[in-house]
Amino acid sequence: MNRNATHHIPDEIIEAYASGLLPHAFSVVVAAHVSLCDKCRATAEACEAVGGVALDHIDGEAPAQDLRARTLSMLDDLPDADQTHARLPRNLPITAPQPARRGIFPGAVAAELGDDGPRWKSLGAGIRQQILTSGPDGTVRLLYIPAGKAVPDHGHGGLEMTLVLQGSFSDHTGHFAKGDVQVVEDDLEHTPIADDGPACICLAATDAPLRFNAMIPRLLQRVFRI
């Protein structure tokens, strides 16, 4: 696997991810890129070292008196595998462990897709998308762009991060291959075009609704939630 992406995520966004402050939609892209990029993994782990030092520094608070005995007594019952959460106490809102990577999709993306995705919706001209999650803090989607096709020209009002999972695309800012992330802010107008070869599949997070300027009328924008 190519672990030498040439377009990376800015350090301050990785730090926002590592500390926990980055909204969910962008966190999916960071986790997916870090799965493919050792340079950014090292940055994320270095940031977590800051978290570790902060944890060392914090003034402790006594846990429940019997917690130590209860915890040690549970060691015998634990499975060796990653099933800890399945046996956990009382009322925690438990989430199952994140699934493993599936094909071109890192675990963080597979988790959003569920078992049987992607379920593409056509945007016309052979271009497809599936919205993974959408909320007030941002939207993350998969895009499928056949070779030679352009993602319709759009401007945006905020931050956009696009990770290539298959194929590649180019625009006036550069060439983006598998594992690369394009980070675009504010009002940059750009027209990514999928390169020759297999269709380009991208994971794209935005914190403001994309406004397509051409090709797709406003009504359709609402239908497709672009």
Partner 1 sequence: MTSDPTATEFSLPTQWLIAVRNRRDREAFGHLFDYFAPRLTAMMLRSGMSRAIADDVVQDVLLTAWTKAAQFDPARAQASTWIYRIARNRQIDILRRERRPVPDALDTGEEHTEQDAHQALALDQESAQLRAALAALSPDQRDVIEKAYLGDLTHTEIRQRTGLPLGTIKSRIRLGLERLRHELKEIR
Write out the binding residues for partner 1, residues 44-73 only, by CB under 8 A.
44-64, 67-68, 70-72
Burial of 134 (0-12, 13-18, 19+ CB in 10 A): middle
Residue 189 binding: pick among Zn ion, partner 1, none (C-beta 5-8 Å cut-off by kind): none
Amino acid at position 100, single letter: A
Residue 8 binding: pick among partner 1, Zn ion, none (C-beta 5-8 Å cut-off by kind): Zn ion
Among candidate residues 10, 221, 26, the one with its CA nearest the CA of residue 140? 26
Considering the complex, what minimum distance in angstroms separates the CB of residue 222 from partner 1? 25
Strand partners, 141: 131, 204
Considering the complex, what minimum distance in angstroms separates the CB of residue 188 from partner 1? 17
85: contact with partner 1 by CB under 8 A? yes
DSSP 17-31: HHHT-S-HHHHHHHH
Q: Which one of 10, 16, 24, 39 is in contact with Zn ion (CB under 5 A)? A: 39
For residue 67, give Cα distances in angstroms to 27, 71, 80, 91: 33, 6, 22, 16
Considering the complex, what minimum distance in angstroms separates the CB of residue 170 from partner 1? 26
Q: Which one of 2, 6, 42, 225 is in contact with partner 1 (CB under 8 A)? A: 42
The smaller minimum CB distance to partner 1, of residues 100 and 125, is found at 100
Contact yes or no for 150/193 (Cβ under 8 A): yes
What mask of x and - would describe binding to partner 1 in positions 1 to 20, judged by CB under 8 A? --x------xxxx-xx--xx
Number of residues that bind partner 1 (CB under 8 A): 81
Considering the complex, what minimum distance in angstroms separates the CB of residue 205 from Zn ion? 15
Spatial distance between the Cα atoms of 144 and 121, rounded to a whole number of angstroms: 10
Determine phi and psi for 49, rounding to 5 degrees: -65, -35
The smaller minimum CB distance to partner 1, of residues 12 and 116, is found at 12
Amino acid at position 143, single letter: L
